[in-house]
Amino acid sequence: MSRKNRKKIIQEIEKKRDSKVIAYVTSDRLGLSVQIAGDVVSLIHEHILGLKEEERLKLDLFLYSRGGQSDVPWTIVSMFREFSQKGSFSVLMPYRAHSGATVIALGADEIVMTKKAELGPIDITIGSGPYNPTEKDSNQRLPISVEDVTGYFSLLEKVGCERPDEKMKGFELLTNHVHPLALGTVSRLLEETKLVALRLLSTRADPFSEEENHEIMDGTRRNSYENRKNMDCKFKV
């Protein structure tokens, strides 16, 4: 689709919703994939500043992404809230908004979804840390998925490793392949991401109760094994 046609569609959305739309789309094509990262913050900020003050009152973020860095969602949501009128920040989801993109969506006052739109579990991947395992042939650092690590320990319980000594043995086997400090990073990021998501949910103009917020978070964990599938409609805010 040409840039001209894309701009026309955005303008039609703005007219229908009486808002200003900022689009953030990261590619997930094979060999051309891009993740949510901190370098986009200044770009979005420039787009918002390019709007007149009266145009910033109601802002829509058109979002498509498979996720990315765990510290970016809070910054993006805070920036939209700083400029928009209270209760007037929405996320428009045409299709996929997984992982970090789900965290961003949870911080909106309104999520507008198509029938095909997908939220996903809040899982973070450590891309290329100094303690990540390396591929034997290329010596390149391999990514570590937080959900892969937690899934490993869930598997231990399913196959009958319930006693503390059995779980410790499973942990020792894992540390033979993944550096303990990398596992520590996994644990820290998992808790950090959950905390950020809960804080973002509490920033809504019409906030849910604390119990409902935790229920939404439990929903992301229960669906953690199906990142590419729709989360239960109950958690589509």
Q: Which domains does the chain have, with CATH numbers?
A: 3-124+206-235 (3.90.226), 127-186 (no CATH)
Strand partners, 59: 20, 89
Distance of CA 142 to the CA centre of its chain: 20
205-237 confidence digits (pLDDT tens): 998 999 999 888 877 665 544 444 444 444 444
CA separation for the pair 120, 229 (Å, rounded): 7
What residue ranges in 65-152 does DSSP mark as E strands? Answer: 89-93, 96-97, 110-113, 118-119, 125-126, 144-145
Is residue 125 within 8 A of residue 67, CB to CB? The reply is: yes
Would the pLDDT of 139 be above 90?
no
DSSP β-ladder status, 110-113 and 96-97: unpaired
Is residue 73 within 8 A of residue 200, CB to CB? The reply is: yes
42-77 confidence digits (pLDDT tens): 999 999 999 999 999 999 999 999 988 888 999 999
70-111 confidence digits (pLDDT tens): 889 999 999 999 999 999 999 999 999 998 999 999 999 999
Is residue 98 within 8 A of residue 122, CB to CB? The reply is: no
Is residue 18 within 8 A of residue 53, CB to CB? The reply is: no
User: Where is 92: in which H helix or E strand?
Assistant: strand 89-93
